[in-house]
Amino acid sequence: MAIAVYRSNPLSTPLSRRRALALAAAGAGLLAFRPALAARQGGDTIRVTTTVGMVADAVRNIGGEHVDVTALMGPGIDPHLYTPGASDIEALSEADIIFYVGLELEGRMGDTLEGVARMGIPTIAVGENVPEDRLLASQQYENAPDPHIWFSVPLWKMAVDAVRDALSEHYPDHAETFESNTAAYQAELDALDAYVREQVETVPEELRILITAHDAFGYFGHEYGFEVHGIQGISTSTEAGAGDIQDLADFIVERQVPAIYVESSVPPATIEALQEACRSRDWDVQIGGQLFSDAMGEDGTPEGTYIGMVTHNIDTIVGGLTGAESEG
């Protein structure tokens, strides 16, 4: 089973004394809260709090009717820059179990998650279930892997297994249901993986170049054979300079890349600047559409699920690079 592993976070900002005191106060409240939670865990619906929507979606698929899931970060929210507020502390403190990606994705939330774990709430980093030799290294931060594992469907299947294992360990009365739900969902993920690979084959090899606002799609490129470039680095806490944009514009013109992509959780300004830099070089690169990177779409839409998000992304990527019409 995946376990939470805490280490110094190169993407986070050190907590101020005031913030540390606030977390300590929240922790004191958690201590008083745990006996009530222990009494609830006998048979009532399991209260689950997650960070990003991709994790929440996995928990809903595995937990089914036995879970009530709250995701702290909704559509358009950047987890790299997210700072928890009072309502987030409350949602975490009221949880029976907490799931998050880990691998430094949640950046500024690392100290908060460590704090609630110390209060006795099971706190699971699903990304820790991916073997280290399958993780891509960050080019920005030493000893910090790229956390965007959901862009490889096979790796995300490992994260789903971590959800099953943790729920089964802490709620063994429902373990059989969790197992059957996982088997059904993993079959859907296998079909999704096959669909992505089929769509990739429709793109000529020389056009399999993906350029986005930040470097979130490394696992996609590694898994499905794309050359990937982002204006910003793995974390959106880094800033792109004018030189970065000019260098990437030179690359786009040289390779005659037909399309570049905005992201739902990153302001479009840098991509628009990149487009203008290409046009100044007499190459009319198009914005091929909006991709979902660190956040899924709105609840109740296909893109508000992991499968729908990945499907939208590959359809949009293929459509932009091949000139085919694509929705979104």
Planar angle of CA 69, 297, 276, nearest 5 degrees: 145
Residue 130, amino acid: V
Distances in Å between the Cα of 266 and the Cα atoms of 87, 112, 328 are 24, 24, 17
Mean pLDDT of the chain, nearest integer: 84
Model confidence pLDDT, tens digit, residues 84-131? 889 999 999 999 999 999 998 998 788 889 889 998 999 999 999 999
Between 197 and 19, residue with greater pLDDT: 197
CATH superfamily of 198-322: Nitrogenase molybdenum iron protein domain (3.40.50.1980)
Between 9 and 307, residue with greater pLDDT: 307
What are the residues whose beta carbons fall under 8 Å from the beta carbon of 82, sequence distance 6 or more? 51, 72, 73, 106, 107, 108, 109
In eight-state DSSP terms, residue 109 is G
The domain ranges of the chain are 17-191, 198-322
pLDDT value at position 303?
A: 96
- Of 127, 65, 136, whose CA–CA distance to 99 is shortest? 127
- pTM (predicted TM-score): 0.83
Is the distance from CB of 323 to CB of 307 less than 8 angstroms?
no
Q: Is 70 exceeded by the pLDDT of residue 57?
A: yes
| Token pair in block for residue 269 | 């300004």
The reply to whether domains 17-191 and 198-322 share a CATH topology is: yes
CATH number 3.90.950.10 is the correct assignment for the domain at 17-191: no
pLDDT value at position 324?
A: 57
Model confidence pLDDT, tens digit, residues 133-149? 999 987 666 677 999 99
Average pLDDT of the segment spanning 39-55: 81
In eight-state DSSP terms, residue 243 is H
In eight-state DSSP terms, residue 44 is S
Model confidence pLDDT, tens digit, residues 267-313? 888 899 999 999 999 999 999 999 998 889 999 999 999 999 999 99
